Chains A and B, each alone.
Chain A
Amino acid sequence: MAQTVFAPWDDPQAKPLIQFKNVTKRFGDFVAIENLTQDIYEREFFALLGPSGCGKTTLMRMLAGFERASEGQILIAGQDMAAVPPNKRAVNMMFQSYALFPHLSIWENIAFGLKREGKPKDEIAARVDEMLRLTRLEKFAKRKPHQISGGQRQRVALARSLAKAPKLLLLDEPLGALDKKLRQDTQFELMDIQEKTGTTFVIVTHDQEEAMTVSSRVAVMDEGRIIQVATPAQIYEAPNSVYVADFIGEVNIIGAVATREGESYRIDWAEGQPPFTAKTATGFADGQRCHLAIRPEKVAISEERPTDAANAVEGQIIDIAYLGNISTYYVKLANGQMIKAQTANTRRLSRRSFTWEDRVWLSWTETAAIMLET
């Protein structure tokens, strides 16, 4: 069955739901957001990913209306939001602390926003019950927030922010307070609910795994700027900078000089060492400095020099990190460069072929490594 891929950002006809136009936000001297322009489309699950202090929360709070842009424009559905206060926006937010009203029951918490709209009582009741069903909280309707567990509170917060059927739902580190197992379950629940309701979600997180799992596109931020926006697969496979490559997952970075050789590039990475070869779509001038980024799982490890590999280099195992399903080998090359290589532990531990101090060969294909300018 052929399925059309959801990618409105590739469609020049598509109208974005949210538009940031040259937005700058300053707090005193501190620049939280610097001249940022970005579109977000309807039904997207858009993740803002970055270390703390990179401006992702500020960006979200501007969408909710708690902060105003110092410069530039923010448009939602084509309307400039500068003068619209938070309570007049068709935007709801799920807070990091959940911000459930402790004096109200779960039912009343979910009904809070609906009551402010002055809807008739039976309509409110029907909507609240629908939300309780969606988040599987029917049993807890009469309880107070302090009488339920963390995971349940998180679902109440989600139900409350979805109750008014907002055009846009903002999630501020929604799963931060949950333990790993519960977080994974909840991620899928979030995606499921997003699909069912068709709401546009913007999620702020510092957890790259979470961003990769749930989102349709990820924006990697640093110091008030978006460094790269792409689908999770593109971000991982084709990062546009060392920063992004390093932030998302594990990576080996090798500083080198590129020289064009036919279809591919010759990569001189250390004096007296045979060069690597790599292929890339971006053009590099001869003798230009570049960074080679190689994901550990794309590096094969073997006892003998593989005959068919485009790149092969010898080294010594310094350390092994055993993670259960996979093992990471830390291999030191002749010039002191450390390379991480990952293999799946398909065999039992006792039959593992390599151990500390073993001399091994590392190899990867021409396309495995990514050449990055910065």
Chain B
Amino acid sequence: MRRFILIAVPYIWLVVLFLVPFLIVLKISLSDAAISIPPYTPQMGLSAGWAGFKAFVSELDFENYIFLSEDALYWKAYLSSLQIALISTVLTLLVGYPIAYGMAQAPDEWRATLLLLVILPFWTSFLIRVYAWIGILSNEGFLNQFLLWTGIISTPLMILNTDTAVYIGIVYTYLPFMVLPIYAALEKMDGSLLEAAEDLGCSRTSAFWLVTIPLSKAGIIAGCFLVFIPALGEFVIPSLLGGSDTLMIGKVLWEEFFSNRDWPVASAVAVILLLILILPIVLFQRNQQKQREMEQ
């Protein structure tokens, strides 16, 4: 019985805070937009009993999903989100791996400090940090002023309101999620493995590719998913740093909800986004589990 309660707690949590809200969103996505409060029909009422419920179900349809597949905007938004998420994941990896590697190589007494420096940005609001980037990247921003002052450029670079700014924002925001799992993997690596590789005829470089990279693979995979999954649905960064032509599904979703007040279409967009994310999440979970088995 105690065991049952222990298992039940997380499941009840999941059902109440994940499954029920999802079912509500799913239900709304099958409804039609209407000028009412809330802005969709049919409304589910329990007063009419079983017959009323049947009538309610009969009014639900997949119209919104068909609409999504017909309007190129949504396809493009999904694809462009995937592309941006993918590119920024790769960029974050390229920036994050050397940082994690450097941290793992640092003397013991430095590691705690370096770790703190990586986590430190979390102590400030995410929104404020993104706003700060506007100040850095805008035409009159610090970056352009600095570059103009050094004479590297003569006219300000247009960075803010472009995809570049979105990449910078995502890489900056999600860097700790990449660095930490890779650092964790590298830190517990036995240094004598590299010596053994050298002893057996590897150069330093080939020892890195043949030993260090494979042994930090689990960390790399975990880091990539931790960046890719939230980046795909990212809304704040593209809307603050991106331009009008930066197309991301998070932004589209927001506009459907708040500008168009079309809750059913917005819900359909959200459901499809979730379906797209299921695959990487499952892969991520599998990677974590494999890692745990390896360690036993």
B218 to chain A: closest residue by CB: A103
Q: Which residues of A contact B294 (CB under 8 A)?
A: 102, 146
Contact of A99 among B196, B201, B217 (CB under 8 A): B196
Other-chain contact of B192, A92, A99, A146 (Cβ < 8 Å): A99
Chain A proximity of B88: nearest CB distance (Å): 28
A132 cross-chain contacts in B, Cβ below 8 A: none
B178-198 toward A: CB 8 Å interface, digit per residue (1/0)? 000000000000101101111
Nearest opposing residue in chain B for A144, CB measure: B294
A97 contacts the other chain (CB 8 A): yes
Is residue A66 contacting chain B, with contact meaning CB distance below 8 A?
yes
Q: How large is the interface on B (under 10, 10 to 19, 20 to 34, 35 or more residues)?
A: 20 to 34
Residues on A with beta carbons closer than 8 Å to the beta carbon of B193: 99, 101
Interface 0/1 of A138-176, CB less than 8 Å to B: 000000001000000000000011001000000000000
Asked, given contacts A99-B195, A146-B294, whether A116 binds B190 with beta carbons under 8 Å apart, the answer is no
Is there contact, CB below 8 Å, between A102 and B200?
no
Given known A95-B192, A95-B195, A95-B196, contact A101–B201 (CB-CB < 8 A): no
Task: Say whether A85 faces chain B, with CB atoms less than 8 Å apart.
Answer: yes
CB distance from B94 to the nearest CB of A (A): 22
Given known A99-B193, A146-B294, contact A86–B214 (CB-CB < 8 A): no
Identify A102's interface contact among B199, B215, B296, CB under 8 A: B215
Distance, CA A101 to CA B189, complexed state (A) = 10
Do residues A66 and B195 form an inter-chain contact, with CB atoms below 8 A?
yes
- What 1/0 flags go to B277-296 for Cβ under 8 Å of A? 00000000000000000101
On whether the beta carbons of B198 and A103 are closer than 8 Å, the reply is no
A213 close to chain B: CB less than 8 A: no
A117 near B201 (CB under 8 angstroms)? yes
* Min C-beta distance of B254 to chain A, whole Å: 43
Given contacts A97-B190, A101-B211, A116-B206, contact A164 B200 (CB under 8 A): yes
Q: How far is the CA of A91 from the CA of B201 in the complex (A)?
A: 10
With a cutoff of 8 Å between Cβ atoms, the chain B residues found around residue A101 in the complex are 193, 196-197, 211, 215
Of B196, B198, B201, B217, chain A has the most CB atoms within 10 Å of the CB of B196
User: What is the CA–CA distance of A113 and B196 in the complex, to the nearest angstrom?
Assistant: 9
B202 CB–A CB distance under 8 Å: yes
Task: Determine how close the nearest CB of chain A comes to the CB of B217; give it in whole angstroms.
Answer: 8
The answer, yes or no, to whether B155 is at the interface (CB within 8 Å) is no
Say how far A352's CB is from chain B's closest CB, in angstroms.
50
Bound together, the chains give a CA A66 to CA B296 distance in angstroms of 31
- Complex CA gap A66/B203 in Å reads 13
With A and B bound together, what is the CA distance between A101 and B192 in angstroms? 10
Kindly list chain B residues whose C-beta atoms are within 8 Å of the C-beta of A85. 198
In the assembled complex, which residues on chain B have CB atoms less than 8 Å from the CB atom of A95?
192, 195-196
Q: Provided the pairs A92-B200, A97-B190 are in contact, do residues A103 and B195 lie with their beta carbons within 8 angstroms? A: no
Interface status of A9 (Cβ within 8 A of chain B): no
| Known contacts A95-B192, A146-B294; A103/B214 CB under 8 A | yes
Bound-state CA distance A331–B190 (Å) is: 50
Question: Chain A residues near B192 (CB, 8 Å)?
Answer: 95-97, 99
Complex: chain A residue closest to B201, CB-CB? A116
Give the distance in Å from the alpha carbon of A358 to the alpha carbon of B103 in the complex: 67
Q: Does A18 contact B (CB under 8 A)?
A: no
Residue of B nearest to A170 (CB): B199
Q: A92 to B200, alpha carbons, bound, how many Å?
A: 7
Known: A66-B195, A99-B193. A113 touches B201 (CB 8 A): yes
Pick from B202, B215, B296: contact of A87, CB below 8 A. Answer: B202
Contact with B along A108-139 (1 / 0, CB 8 A): 00001100110000000000000000000000
Q: A146–B215 Cα gap in the complex (Å)?
A: 14
Q: Is the CB of B199 within 8 A of A116?
A: no
Q: Shortest Cβ distance from A354 into chain B, in angstroms?
A: 51
Contact between chains at A116 and B200 (CB < 8 Å): yes
| CB atoms of A160 and B215 under 8 A apart | no
Residues of A within 8 A of B195 (CB): 64, 66, 86, 93, 95, 99
Not counting A86-B198, A102-B215, A112-B210, a sample of 5 additional A-B residue pairs whose C-beta atoms are within 8 angstroms of each other reads A97-B190, A99-B193, A101-B193, A160-B200, A161-B199
A-B contact pairs, 22 of them (CB 8 A): A64-B195, A87-B199, A87-B200, A87-B201, A87-B202, A87-B203, A91-B199, A92-B199, A97-B190, A99-B192, A99-B195, A100-B196, A101-B193, A101-B211, A113-B201, A116-B201, A116-B202, A116-B206, A117-B201, A146-B296, A161-B199, A164-B200
